[in-house]
Amino acid sequence: MYRTTVRKIASNYNTLRVPKRTLSNDASAGISSTNSAKFNSEDEKLGMRNMIGQYDIAIVGGGMVGIAFACALSSMPLTKQLKVAIIDSNPALGRRDCIEKTDLPDPRVSTVTPATISFFKDVGAWDYVQQNRHAFFDKMQVWDYTGLGYTRYNARDVGKEILGCVVENKVLHASLLSCLQKSDFHKTIYPSRLTSMALQSHSKEVESKLPGAKLCDHGSFVKLDLSNGDSLFAKLVVGADGAKSYVRELAGLKTTGWNYSQNAIICTVEHNVENQCAWQRFLPTGPIALLPIGDRFSNIVWTMSPKESSERKTMNEDDFVKAVNHALDYGYGPHPQSSSVSNYGDRLSWLIADMTSSSKECFEVPPKVVKIASERMVFPLSLLHSNDYASNRVVLIGDAAHTVHPLAGQGVNLGFGDATVLSKVISDGISIGSDIGEISLLRKFEAERKPANIMMMALLDGFQKAYTVDFGPLNVLRAAAFHAAQFITPLKKNIISYATGEQKWPLFS
Amino acid sequence: MASKSLKLCRALCNNTQHGRNIFLALSASRASQRIQRRLFSNDPQPDLVDPPSTSPSEKPQSHDTRRNEGGAGRRPFSSSLNDVELAKFSAIAETWWDPVGPFKPLHAMNPTRVSFIRSALCRHFRKDPSSAKPFEGLRIVDVGCGGGILSEPLARMGATVVGIDAVEKNTKIARLHAELDPVTSSIEYCCTTAEKLVEEQRKFDAVIALEVIEHVADPAEFCKSLAALTDTNGATVISTINRSMRSYATAIVAAEYLLHWLPRGTHQWSSFLTPEELVLILQRASISVQEIAGFVYNPLTGRWALSDDLSVNFIAFGTKNMNSQ
């Protein structure tokens, strides 16, 4: 009996949404509070749903990756009619902040690879970035403290113009937000935090009608409760809430990982000259990276042990500048010898067929740091990987699924890759009319992203471990690796293509 | 030798007048298999009972009780079935939506079937394939809907769907599951047969009968019912399993006995139809087949894909001829 009424109500609901809302409110006036968990009939349940927002996708976490995912959905024809809720207590999401171009650069920056740049262009968010401070770089130099070898990369080695672009996180975030707000995408921002999440199970209903039936406990919606008392229903919950993801905890997804006993200090510094190259030097305690941001500013990411990091954070600015220059220049070890291949060029020309231009480049010393332009921030570093990216009606993207060491600037690029693939998988699912929260669809996303993410994480972890050991033979091995990457052209091209996101697998493509 | 006769069959099947005679000759040449003559005859057939030697099935009575009017649902039932069989089907019926249950292969195959139906129907009815609800305004009937695995995606794509099945339990399960999502709760499920719908004079823009025709007593009559349900300029989509060496090896031996994807005895190889036979009987029911495609399973990725290989599973899309009523 209830079934026919439900069907009538449902069909009416689909056709007349707004007037139906008032009717249902009258019908469900008897319900005492929205937090009541006792639903006695289908009618009341449907009435409840009419009062609480019903969404197709709820994105928990409005950071760079969460908003990028929303932008990706808004830019595809099949997904742009979805109703999306974004849950993040950051007040910046609601405001349309204008970024002052005269501000000093924020120390929190990210290096975006060309693959990510093309994603931004596809969703229409790159113009905003270009209007704000950003720095393309096409050269990179990597060496270590032993002075036994160095590698120089140039975008021309693979026929491209840039290796990547360094942009402040707030600029990336604002560009994605403005792109989202410009589109007529149906999104609602809930400025609150998630407190609980519950799958709507209808198993009690089923048993009364058909004893023994096991409809495999999935209702069609997940109910999310927020800290400000709001509630909403969603068919799919996307966890984009960072390394300490609450969605991952609520969904019961286990993780694997370990803490590196390293912290990273980041800050903005200034030079007297323009810096157009990315520099990374591996020191005994961890790498120091100098990335150009533009306007003679650069960003320092210095990995070191926790004790040193607390010392260096509190030392005065001049001492810190001296320490940075020391670390980039003559500290801990000598400069590597410049490439002497050109001397033997004629005799070895049969062996080194098409040398890239960067193989002939000499070792350069990074530009001197003149002063610090921002506060120093310290972050602990760890490796974390969620064993499963998806469970019933829940999926994780970005740092919630995986966190990596910053030594290759890949972290947020993996997250943007996740957002692209998940939006494509959902679009394919909608094209065949499947339920977007169904786990078989989410497993397709996992099957595509997990191997790539794990491969990258393994490589970065391997590098991190290889460069923290000071052991004679290992130092020589590392030097050999530097030389190999510098002179063996196919290897160098592979490394560049993989790191810039053009190639999916490091070796066999 | 078998492949040669298949080639002969294919070459000569286009010649419909001789079809019946040649077919009889071919069936005489096949010593080990029984092909039921029901396929080419328009006369009502007496029930043919497969001897136990050729059908290693545990439920022979499903063939004893074939109804002549055809149009049976997914599992042909009748009152002469004993309670043991009913109970066995009931047990399976409840696991329709269990993603790791006995219907897992059907769930895996569903996206491929739906994508074929989507592209064929969008092309025929001139709908925009990049829209999220391309079937808005179309009336579709899913014959032999089972638990609603096909009906729900069709409803999500905007169609007005009626799902029919001869097993009442299936329609109950389908209804319960469809109510979980407001979009699919508008699907109308009935426990009935195609014949009864024809008697009710119902017409649909698209009639879809996937994996049904191999379980039906009289495919020719069944196709006539499907054609009668199709509106003028409407579409009919039928999917089934080919009757070939490969399909015996995969759909019967591998799927039922080795991998246990399907319960033993689900299919009878002799009741499979070759694409040529299906095209022929659809032609006689005044439906001309426009597109036909096969499904192949990649065991490495575990996914199904559309292909030109019709040797095991295939799906045919046809439109009703204009000159018929």
Fill in the DSSP letter of residue A8: H
What is the pLDDT at residue B324? 55
B132/A430 CB distance under 8 A: yes
User: To 10 degrees, the CA torsion angle through A41, A46, A49, A51?
Assistant: -100
pLDDT-wise least confident of A25-39, A57-71, A190-204, B142-156: A25-39
What is the distance in angstroms between the Cα of B142 and the nearest Cα belonging to chain A?
Answer: 15
Q: Is B215 annotated as a binding residue?
A: yes
Q: Is B107 annotated as a binding residue?
A: no
What is the pLDDT at residue B42? 42
- The shortest CB-CB distance from B175 to any of A3, A10, A435 is to A3
Q: Radius of gyration over alpha carbons of chain A, in Å?
A: 26
Residue B57 pLDDT level (bands cut at 50, 70, 90): very low
**Domain span at B311:** 78-320
For an interface test with B, which of A54, A83, A215 has the most B Cβ atoms less than 10 Å from its Cβ? A215
Number of domains in chain B: 1
Give percent of chain B with pLDDT exceeding 70. 71
Residue B302 in any domain: the answer is yes
Residue B175 in any domain: the answer is yes
For an interface test with A, which of B185, B187, B304 has the most A Cβ atoms less than 10 Å from its Cβ? B185
What is the pLDDT at residue B53? 36
- The shortest CB-CB distance from A10 to any of B156, B173, B182 is to B182
Chain B residues inside the 8 Å CB shell of A14: 182-183, 186
Q: In chain B, how many H helices and how many E strands?
A: 11, 8
Q: What is the mean pLDDT of residues B199-216?
A: 91
What is the pLDDT at residue A357? 76
Structure-model confidence comparison of residues A61 and A201, the more confident one: A61
Residue B13 in any domain: the answer is no
Between the alpha carbon of residue B11 and those of residues B16, B36, B283, the distances in Å are 11, 20, 17
Residue B235 pLDDT level (bands cut at 50, 70, 90): very high
Q: What is the mean pLDDT of residues B55-61?
A: 35
A432/B152 CB distance under 8 A: no
H-only helix segments in A168-316: 169-182, 203-209, 246-250, 306-314
- Chain A stretch 192-211, residues whose beta carbon is closer than 8 A to a beta carbon of chain B: 202, 205-206, 209-210
Cβ atoms of B288 and B227 within 8 Å: the answer is: no
Q: Decide if pLDDT at A377 tops 80.
A: yes
Q: Hey, is the C-beta of A5 within 8 angstroms of any chain B C-beta? A: no
Chain A residues inside the 8 Å CB shell of B185: 6-7, 10-11
Q: Decide if pLDDT at A13 tops 80.
A: no
What is the distance in angstroms between the Cα of A15 and the nearest Cα belonging to chain B?
Answer: 11
Structure-model confidence comparison of residues B323 and A471, the more confident one: A471
Structure tokens belonging to residue A265: 């200090």
Cβ atoms of B85 and B59 within 8 Å: the answer is: yes
Q: Up-side HSE of residue A470: CA atoms within 13 Å toward CB?
A: 10
What is the pLDDT at residue A201? 61
B183/A14 CB distance under 8 A: yes
Q: Is B165 annotated as a binding residue?
A: yes
Widest CA span of chain B, in angstroms?
A: 56
What is the pLDDT at residue B39? 41
Q: What is the mean pLDDT of residues A408-434?
A: 93
Structure tokens belonging to residue A420: 């692209």
Distance CA A476, CA A491 (A): 19
Q: Decide if pLDDT at A44 tops 80.
A: no
Q: Is B195 annotated as a binding residue?
A: no
Between the alpha carbon of residue B119 and those of residues B78, B108, B122, B152, the distances in Å are 37, 19, 5, 17
Residue of A nearest to B151 (CA): A433
Number of inter-chain CB pairs under 8 A, A vs B: 86
Q: Up-side HSE of residue B177: CA atoms within 13 Å toward CB?
A: 31
Q: What is the mean pLDDT of residues B211-237?
A: 91
A210/B172 CB distance under 8 A: yes
What is the distance in angstroms between the Cα of B9 and the nearest Cα belonging to chain A?
Answer: 36
Interface of B with A (CB under 8 A): 94-95, 97-99, 107, 110-111, 114-115, 118, 130-132, 152-157, 172-173, 175-177, 179-183, 185-186
For an interface test with A, which of B117, B160, B179, B306 has the most A Cβ atoms less than 10 Å from its Cβ? B179
What is the pLDDT at residue A34? 39
What is the pLDDT at residue A4? 52
Q: Decide if pLDDT at A308 tops 50.
A: yes
Cβ atoms of B179 and A6 within 8 Å: the answer is: yes
How are the residues of chain B apportioned to helix, strand and coil, as percentages rounded to the nearest 5? 40, 20, 40
B185/A432 CB distance under 8 A: no
> B256-269 pLDDT, tens per residue?
888 887 778 778 88
ipTM of the complex: 0.74
Q: What's chain A's average pLDDT?
A: 82
Is the torsion defined by CA of A321, A325, A326, A328 positive or negative? positive
- The shortest CB-CB distance from A7 to any of B172, B177, B186 is to B186
B180/A210 CB distance under 8 A: no
Structure tokens belonging to residue A206: 């089923």
What is the pLDDT at residue A334? 82
Residue of B nearest to A234 (CA): B181
Q: Decide if pLDDT at A63 tops 80.
A: yes
Cβ-proximal residues to B43 (8 Å cutoff; 6+ apart), any chain: none
Q: What is the mean pLDDT of residues B219-229?
A: 92
Cβ atoms of A174 and A182 within 8 Å: the answer is: no
CA angle, residues B266, B267, B270, in degrees to nearest 5: 155
What is the distance in angstroms between the Cα of B234 and the nearest Cα belonging to chain A?
Answer: 21
Q: What is the mean pLDDT of residues B175-191?
A: 90
Q: Is B144 annotated as a binding residue?
A: yes
Distance CA A400, CA A378 (A): 20
pLDDT-wise least confident of A353-357, A429-433, A473-477: A353-357
Residue B87 pLDDT level (bands cut at 50, 70, 90): low
Looking at the DSSP bridge assignments, the partners of residue A396 are A239
Q: What's chain B's average pLDDT?
A: 77
Pick the CATH number of A53-200+219-500 from 3.20.20.70, 3.40.30.10, 3.50.50.60, 3.40.50.150: 3.50.50.60
**Which run of H or E residues covers position A199?**
strand A194-199
Q: Decide if pLDDT at A40 tops 80.
A: no
Give percent of chain A with pLDDT exceeding 90. 42
pTM: 0.79
Q: Decide if pLDDT at A442 tops 90.
A: yes
Distance CA A86, CA A88 (A): 6
Cβ atoms of A166 and A293 within 8 Å: the answer is: yes
Q: What is the mean pLDDT of residues A462-472?
A: 84
A213/B185 CB distance under 8 A: no
Instruction: Please name which of A264, A263, A294 lies closest in space to residue A278, comparing C-alpha atoms.
Output: A294
Residue of A nearest to B131 (CA): A78
What is the pLDDT at residue B84? 52
> B41-56 pLDDT, tens per residue?
444 433 333 333 333 3
What is the distance in angstroms between the Cα of B235 and the nearest Cα belonging to chain A?
Answer: 18
Residue of A nearest to B185 (CA): A7
> A483-506 pLDDT, tens per residue?
888 888 888 888 888 888 888 888
How are the residues of chain A apportioned to helix, strand and coil, as percentages rounded to the nearest 5? 40, 25, 35
Domain ranges of chain A: 53-200+219-500
Q: What is the mean pLDDT of residues B93-101?
A: 79
Q: Hey, is the C-beta of A52 within 8 angstroms of any chain B C-beta? A: no
Chain B residues inside the 8 Å CB shell of A216: 97-99
What is the pLDDT at residue A479? 85
H-only helix segments in A192-270: 203-209, 246-250
- The shortest CB-CB distance from A432 to any of B153, B183, B185 is to B153
Residue of A nearest to B111 (CA): A432
- Chain A stretch 63-122, residues whose beta carbon is closer than 8 A to a beta carbon of chain B: 77-79, 81
Residue B312 pLDDT level (bands cut at 50, 70, 90): very high
Chain A residues inside the 8 Å CB shell of B156: 430, 433-435
What is the pLDDT at residue B9? 46
What is the pLDDT at residue A418? 95
pLDDT-wise least confident of A441-455, B33-47, B112-126, B155-169: B33-47
Q: Is B37 annotated as a binding residue?
A: no
B94/A220 CB distance under 8 A: no
What is the distance in angstroms between the Cα of B115 and the nearest Cα belonging to chain A?
Answer: 6
Cβ atoms of A389 and A410 within 8 Å: the answer is: no
Q: Decide if pLDDT at A282 tops 80.
A: yes
Structure-model confidence comparison of residues B78 and B25, the more confident one: B25
Fill in the DSSP letter of residue A76: S
> B131-171 pLDDT, tens per residue?
889 999 999 999 999 889 999 999 999 999 999 988 888 89
A431/B115 CB distance under 8 A: yes
Residue A227 pLDDT level (bands cut at 50, 70, 90): very high
User: To 10 degrees, the CA torsion angle through A488, A494, A499, A502?
Assistant: 150
Q: What is the mean pLDDT of residues A357-375?
A: 86
Residue of B nearest to A430 (CA): B132
What is the pLDDT at residue A289? 93
Residue B7 in any domain: the answer is no
A10/B172 CB distance under 8 A: no
Residue B36 in any domain: the answer is no
Distance CA A473, CA A193 (A): 52
CATH number at B222 reads: 3.40.50.150
Structure tokens belonging to residue A219: 């209702």
Q: Decide if pLDDT at A72 tops 80.
A: yes
pLDDT-wise least confident of A295-299, A488-492, B131-135, B208-212: A488-492
**Which run of H or E residues covers position B90?**
helix B83-93
> A248-276 pLDDT, tens per residue?
999 999 999 999 889 999 999 999 998 88
| Helices B275-284 & B16-29 angle (0-180, nearest 10) | 140
What is the distance in angstroms between the Cα of A59 and the nearest Cα belonging to chain B?
Answer: 20
B182/A7 CB distance under 8 A: no
Q: What is the mean pLDDT of residues B265-289?
A: 91
Q: Decide if pLDDT at A89 tops 70.
A: yes
What is the pLDDT at residue A345? 52
Q: Which of A15-19, A416-420, B10-14 has the highest mean pLDDT?
A: A416-420
What is the pLDDT at residue A251? 92
What is the pLDDT at residue A164? 92
What is the pLDDT at residue B23? 46
